Structures are given as C-alpha cells and as structure tokens.
Amino acid sequence: MTKDVIALTPTMPDVWALMASLYAGGSDLDLSAAADGAVVQLHGPGGRPLVSVESPLLVRVPGEAERLLGQSAEAPYWWTEARASTAVPEAEKLAGVVCGRLNALLGGTTWPAGAASTEAVDVSAVPSAGAGQPAVDVVTENAAVVLIDRPVVALTSWLAEIMRTAVASRRSLQIVTPPGVRLSAPARTTLARVPNRWVVRDPECGYYDGLSGAVLRWQDGAFSPALSEDGTARVAAAFTRRAEEAPGRRLIVAIRTVHRPDERLLLGGALETAWETLTGSAPGGWGTAEPVNLPWSPRQLTDLARERMPESSQLIVVGRPERRAIATLRVTRTTKGVEEDMVLTVGFAEGEGLPLDRVRALAEELVTRHSLRTMLTSVQAAPADLATAPRLEGPPLPAAFTLGPDDVHAIGPDHARRTPLDQPPTALGPTTRPALHYPLGDGEDPASWERLQQLTNHLRSPTVSG
C-alpha cells in the first residue's frame, strides 16, 4: 500500500530545497529518476523503493486543495506530492519528513495535517526487496492494483500514467480504497470504463465494487464479482445503505460540436458559453489532470490540442469555488472535422433552483455560434459537491434533447418534427436549416427515460412515416 503526503508551499521548491528534503533519510539513500525525469525515487539498501516525489506543480486555480483534500490553500501555490510504500514503516515517516522540510524552508502546509516532520529518519536497517514502483502496489497478469487512502481519488498525472501503462499491458486498473473515500468526476469516468474497477473495503462482505455494488473476491490475480450458484452477483449491503451526504441535485449537460478545420478555430467556446449560461460565470481553470492548475484560457487549450493532433486530447475544466462545477472535454480530429465532446456537471444544494429555463436559450446559442450537433440535458439527485461515494445513486433523468441542423437535415426535417412525443419540438437557428429542441420533462419524472427512448428510436428510423 502507498501513503500520500502533499506539501502545499507558496514558493517553488528549487533544486536545493528538494535535495535537502530528499536526503532526510541520510546519505545512504539512492536517487533515481522516472517518468522522463518528472518523478524522483528514493531507494533504500538493496534498491528497495521507499518514496516517489513528483515534480512540483504550480496551481493557479482557486479551490483545488479544498475540492480534493478538504484543506484550504490560497492560490497560487506549489503542490508537491510524495508517495511512500507502507511495506516499510520508515518510508511513511520519510515522506512526511520530505514534505515537512519543504514547509520549514518555504512555508505553507502539509496534507494530511500532522504528517509533516523535520526529524531525520534512519532507514539503514530496511531489508532489501529489489527495485520496484511505489505507486503500484500489486501487479499481476490481469491487473495493476493501487491502494489509495485520501478524501477524494482524483485523476492525477501519476494515476493517468498508471492507467495508460495498464491499458498498454492489457491489464485492468483496480483502485482499492476504504469506504469513506470518494471519486472525483474525472476519476469516476476513468474507473467506469471496462475492465477498470473501484474496489471498496468493507467490514461486512470484504470488498465490493464502488460503482455497481457487486461483492468482490480476489480471483485469478484480480478482483472480480463473487458469483452465486445461479451465476448472479450479490450486492453489498453498504452500497444500498442510505447516503449520509447532504442531499442536492446535479444539472448534467452533454454537448457535442463539430467544427471545420481552420487555423483561426478557437476551441472551448461552446463549453464556456454553457458554463456562463448555467452558472453565471466563466470556468475557473483547466488542465490535463487533477489538481487542475491553469487559469481558464481557450487560446492555450486550443494550442495544446493542436500540438497533440492527430492524437486526441482529454481535458478537465473546473469552476470557481462559489459555484461547484466540473467538466470533461475530449477534442478529436476526425474525417468530419474537429470534434468536441464535453460533459458539464453543475452542483446545486438542497433548496436551490436549477436553471432549466435557460437550457433552450443555451441550445440556440450553441446552434448559431458553436456548430452544435447534439445536446442532452439531465438532472440527477446527488450531492452538490460532485464527488461520487461508494453507494447507490439514482440515474440522471433526461430533461431535454437538442439535435443540430446537420443531423436534422440528414434525417429529414419533416420526420424529425413529427415524433411520438406529446410535446412538439421547437425549431432553433435559421428557418432554412433549423435545429430541433425536444422537451422531455422537468428532471424529476422517471417517465422521461421512456420519452427519450421513443425519440431516439424514431430519429434512427427516418424511413418510417411520422
């Protein structure tokens, strides 16, 4: 198992500060670089890995420490993460000393509170166990297993790298956590992809899947459902237990746009428009991993996506602390053009009204200015902090669907208008080539799923007369 300790400092840890901290265990420790120099590893006698220290990250986005650690930090600050192998008791102390010495030299705070120390650690008696990677706890033929114990499992750069390595080696990524841990929205999206898995320790059943609730067992080098004699999976009681989090609602908007390739193309405009319409302010920051560290900039976002093409770009966007919102954005170059697929989620506390009355105006703005192809708006009853707990959540309920002008034209405008729904669609944009906006419900009616199914079946069969 690994133990994370994080130093949040107002000043960048320079080479001398890092070296003074890294040698907290004495001069007998060996240093090595990994991940193209982005990670420094401390090794004990015999090459046993003790601590990995990532390159300091400058976070200029307010609210990220509070969102991911539950600890305040005034932006900008430097985020330096140390991960210790708990297979060696001295390693955890060493990680605390690494961060504690950085704080002593540069100021700032350490997470978790109380982990920092400046006393030297004697690791000379650590037994040899060969080289390895402290970030991955167990590697088998079928899985790469990482044990994490922090308030929120985030899609950090090191976790994303482990996921890429697991995919390349055809292994599943399995994250094991205590029951009180939650997932950030990007981490949830990653672990929801087959064959990845979120494994939650439970005193009653041992382990269960934090997203499906299935009781798990360690079998053939991986966690998998413990099937009964009839072949069905048993659901853990903890998964269906009533949630302790404060009630709330989430407005979820899934948007797809397609642009003509052009040197003047600026990406992120559709997401920025949706953000401003639904929250009253622009996005707070963006990045390729968590913590999100860059202030919002469509120009910088576009430059990065252009540099990476023809490879796609997976990006994370967060809101300002006063209105919790987060989005994932995927930019892809295809034969149709430059595609943006984004999912924006905005959290609302109990009693707050949702801006559903702004959705149609948003759809029209996206049609006329941002090359909208589709937009699905849904509402989910779930905590407003946007993190996922290992408990049963109700599905998002569709509220509206918008079909862009190109797809309306391809299907046939008359057929697209004459749907089996009680409420007719509203035409948006130019009358000669309109988009269509379909109301589906108020975000609270379970029957809206049936309406959406009826609508999609109708749109997929344009040869059937309406």
Q: How do residues 20-53 score in pLDDT, each as one tens digit?
A: 777 765 656 776 666 665 677 777 766 667 888 8
- Alpha-carbon distance of 308 to 316, in angstroms, equals 16
**Given this model, what pLDDT does residue 161 score?**
85
Four-CA torsion 275, 277, 281, 284, nearest 10 degrees: 0
**Given this model, what pLDDT does residue 38 score?**
66
Classified as helix, coil or strand, 337 is strand
Asked which of 97-101, 114-118, 204-208, 284-288 is least confident by mean pLDDT, the reply is: 114-118
- Alpha-carbon distance of 466 to 22, in angstroms, equals 71
**Given this model, what pLDDT does residue 51 score?**
84
Asked which of 76-90, 167-181, 289-303, 370-384 is least confident by mean pLDDT, the reply is: 76-90
Four-CA torsion 331, 337, 343, 346, nearest 10 degrees: 100
Q: Could you tell me the maximum CA-CA distance found in the chain, to the nearest angstrom?
A: 80
Of 190 and 292, which is predicted with more confidence?
A: 292
pLDDT exceeds 60 at position 199: yes
* Residues 287-297: b if buried by 16+ CB within 10 A, e if exposed: bbbbbbbbebe
Structure tokens that stand for 96 in this block:
């605390």
Residues forming a β-bridge with 334: 337
- Give the best-scoring range by mean pLDDT among 29-33, 111-115, 174-178: 174-178
- Alpha-carbon distance of 171 to 168, in angstroms, equals 8
- Give the best-scoring range by mean pLDDT among 9-23, 96-110, 201-215: 201-215
> Residue 83 — pLDDT band, cuts 50, 70, 90?
confident
> Residue 131 — pLDDT band, cuts 50, 70, 90?
very low
Quick: pLDDT tens for 377-411: 999 999 999 999 999 998 999 999 999 999 999 99
As a whole number, the mean pLDDT across the chain is 89
pLDDT exceeds 90 at position 265: yes
CA nearest neighbour of 156 among 171, 172, 180, 173: 173
Q: Indicate the domain borders of the chain.
A: 2-111, 138-240, 248-459
**Given this model, what pLDDT does residue 33 score?**
64
**Given this model, what pLDDT does residue 449 score?**
95
Amino acid at 460: R
**Given this model, what pLDDT does residue 189 score?**
92
Sign of CA dihedral 285, 286, 290, 291: negative
- Alpha-carbon distance of 193 to 447, in angstroms, equals 27
Quick: pLDDT tens for 315-372: 999 999 888 999 999 999 999 999 999 999 999 999 899 999 999 999 999 999 999 9
- Alpha-carbon distance of 347 to 401, in angstroms, equals 20
Judge if the upstream peptide bond of residue 398 is cis by omega within 30 degrees of 0. Answer: no
2-111: which CATH number, 3.30.70, 1.10.3470, 3.30.310, 3.40.50?
3.30.310
- Alpha-carbon distance of 5 to 133, in angstroms, equals 17
**Given this model, what pLDDT does residue 17 score?**
81
CA distance between the termini of the chain: 60
